Homo-oligomer: A and B are copies of this chain.
């Protein structure tokens, strides 16, 4: 694409001389990696130096950008979104997976696979499974008995869906993820942990995306349920009977314990832990590495090991970091009081400390 084609696509302002450039932009790249012929974007002042040094031929920058740089700049509202649009124009379309069942796949009986679906090599599909239109079951993936998968679903290689899993439309599941393993439930009987049967299932609604090596356990009974449009990152643990409401974001390495429920548009940042049997209200945001151990009203922002409101949590952290000063002040004050006491005692002819209980 020429610069003027790009400027038209993303509605950018460009210096007139750039519009006449005959340079051909063929690839999007990061500031550091870019070569002549690449386009980059810039929307964070911390990367200004990288922008100055980039070898790219063009850069998408914010409308109010006014630094002098050698790369040709295209000014517009949202450089990151515009970059995505340019990438989509530049990239060859992803190779589609051919419809049909690869001969190496193993297919059970009583399955209902749409003729436009693609079952990739070495996949295993057990009895009674339904697969919808244009859905791709990745190589080496396993779909357990009586699972039902909607249309336009993309299951990447090496995913496991255990029996009775229900998947909506347009769901994406990345490699290594296991859906429907048994919940962690035991009762102690005569000194042994006896298994509590886990006979529920997992339901994933439309437009959910689930990262790699994430585990979502089947319900003890009923269902573990991920509702429409929620996005789950890698290495997340979701225990039995958890309910994730619509449009939540669950960042990597977070764990949610059994039977807890999230409302709509909840964000849990990375490495968060949620105890069992709590309710987290709509639009709650929990900072990275925090713990949530009780019910949380809507629109709270929580932080810290005990999940308290973010403003309080930050204040506590500031106090924590000032502890050496605080203790120093206390020591000064102790010395001062001791000195005062001496003077007062001298004036008074008696030991005032005797009055202290």
Q: How many residues of chain A are within 8 Å of chain B by beta carbon?
A: 121
Return the CB mask of A203-234 against B: 1 if under 8 Å, else 0: 00001010111110101011100000101011
Chain B residues lying within 8 Å of A95, measured Cβ to Cβ, are: 145
Chain B residues lying within 8 Å of A322, measured Cβ to Cβ, are: 327
**Given the interface contacts A30-B222, A162-B156, A316-B321, does A121 sit within 8 Å of B124 by beta carbon?**
yes
The chain B residue sitting closest to A108, CB to CB, is B121
Give A255 to B160 CA distance when docked, in angstroms.
23
- A342 at the B interface (CB under 8 A): yes
Chain B residues lying within 8 Å of A270, measured Cβ to Cβ, are: 237, 255, 257, 273
Chain B residues lying within 8 Å of A120, measured Cβ to Cβ, are: 124
Decide: A336 and B353 in contact? CB cutoff 8 A: yes
Chain B residues lying within 8 Å of A308, measured Cβ to Cβ, are: 321
- A87 at the B interface (CB under 8 A): yes
Decide: A181 and B174 in contact? CB cutoff 8 A: yes
Q: List 29 A-B contacts (CB under 8 A).
A: A28-B199, A28-B222, A30-B241, A33-B223, A80-B187, A84-B196, A87-B199, A87-B221, A122-B124, A122-B140, A172-B182, A175-B181, A178-B212, A181-B234, A184-B233, A192-B207, A217-B234, A237-B252, A255-B271, A273-B288, A289-B291, A316-B320, A319-B323, A320-B323, A326-B327, A329-B330, A336-B353, A340-B340, A344-B344
Contact surface of A with B, Cβ cutoff 8 Å: 28-30, 32-33, 44, 46, 80-81, 83-84, 87-88, 91, 95, 102, 104, 106, 120-122, 124, 138-140, 142, 144-145, 156-158, 160, 162, 172, 174-178, 181-182, 184, 186-187, 191-193, 195-197, 199, 207, 209, 211-215, 217, 219, 221-223, 229, 231, 233-235, 237, 239, 241, 247, 249, 251-253, 255, 257, 270-271, 273, 275, 277, 288-289, 291, 305-306, 308, 315-317, 319-324, 326-327, 329-330, 332-337, 339-344, 347-348, 352-353, 355-357
